[in-house]
Amino acid sequence: MTALTPSQTVGPFFHLGFAPLNRENLAATGMAGEAITIQGRVLDGNGAGVDDAVIEIWQPDSEGRYSQPEDTPGESNFKGFRRIPTDSTGAFRFTTTKPGRVPGPDGELQAPHLMVTVLARGLLKQLTTRIYLPAEPSNQTDAVLSLVPPERRSTLIAKNIAGAGDLLEWNVILQGVSETVFFDV
């Protein structure tokens, strides 16, 4: 067995290398289905916005299908991928298709969710978390959410913003009292 290459931080200058694959808008993907827009901030242990973070999203289409290389052999297939760097206040925003349900560890369907990878200066390895959607009955029975202590589950569920229509809010709190739940994958 060959030893894994260790992780190192992206540092503050990742925009140089990452910018060509930034994807924030649904239009970049050609996925059908109900559009959702999610916005939020990445915050550090002092509550300050992290202006040198980037989040990467991976999700299935509205029917619960993940893009697979065999779908279109030889073509790029990253329709479910988003990459959004934070702005000077630590904020990010993206529009996507509401994900469908996919099978879970127990064979039951999981509640709709988006996989999130967080990278930033000061993070020596990536963080993995999930965004769930508000008012989904399946959140009550989701096998992954049920692994999370009940009082921390809300950190994984996006919230409707009062008076903002369909706009959803979901924040990444790296450290502190309302610290976001991160997963060991």
Contact between 52 and other proteins by CB under 8 A: the answer reads yes
Contact between 74 and other proteins by CB under 8 A: the answer reads yes
Look up residue 18 and give its DSSP letter. Answer: H
Q: Kindly state the tokens that stand for 182.
A: 């991160």
Contact between 121 and other proteins by CB under 8 A: the answer reads yes
Question: Which region among 3-11, 29-37, 131-139, 157-165 touches other proteins (by CB under 8 A)?
Answer: 3-11
Interface with other proteins (CB under 8 A), residue from 44, 62, 98, 160? 44
For other proteins, the binding residues in 85-104 under the rule CB under 8 A are 102-104
Q: What angle do CA 38, 44, 50 make, to 5 degrees?
A: 60
Q: Please list the residues that pair with 94 across neighbouring strands.
A: 38
Q: In angstroms, what is the minimal distance from the CB of 143 to other proteins? A: 8
Q: Which is nearer to other proteins, 126 or 160 (CB)?
A: 126
Q: Which is nearer to other proteins, 36 or 111 (CB)?
A: 111
Interface with other proteins (CB under 8 A), residue from 128, 134, 154, 161? 128
Residues found in the chain:
185
> How many residues of this chain bind other proteins (CB under 8 A)?
75
Chain centre to alpha carbon of residue 57: 4
Q: Which is nearer to other proteins, 95 or 183 (CB)?
A: 183
Q: In angstroms, what is the minimal distance from the CB of 163 to other proteins? A: 32
Report in angstroms the alpha-carbon separations of 53 from 7, 95, 127, 178.
16, 18, 11, 19
Q: Kindly state the tokens that stand for 142.
A: 């989701």
Q: In angstroms, what is the minimal distance from the CB of 162 to other proteins? A: 29
Amino acid (one-letter) located at 124: L
Q: Cα–Cα distance between 23 and 79 in angstroms, integer? A: 10
If phi > 0 it is left, if psi is from -120 to 50 it is alpha, else beta; for residue 130 that is beta
Interface with other proteins (CB under 8 A), residue from 32, 63, 69, 166? 69
Number of other residues whose CB lies within 10 A of the CB of residue 182: 17
For other proteins, the binding residues in 12-31 under the rule CB under 8 A are 12-21
Contact between 147 and other proteins by CB under 8 A: the answer reads yes
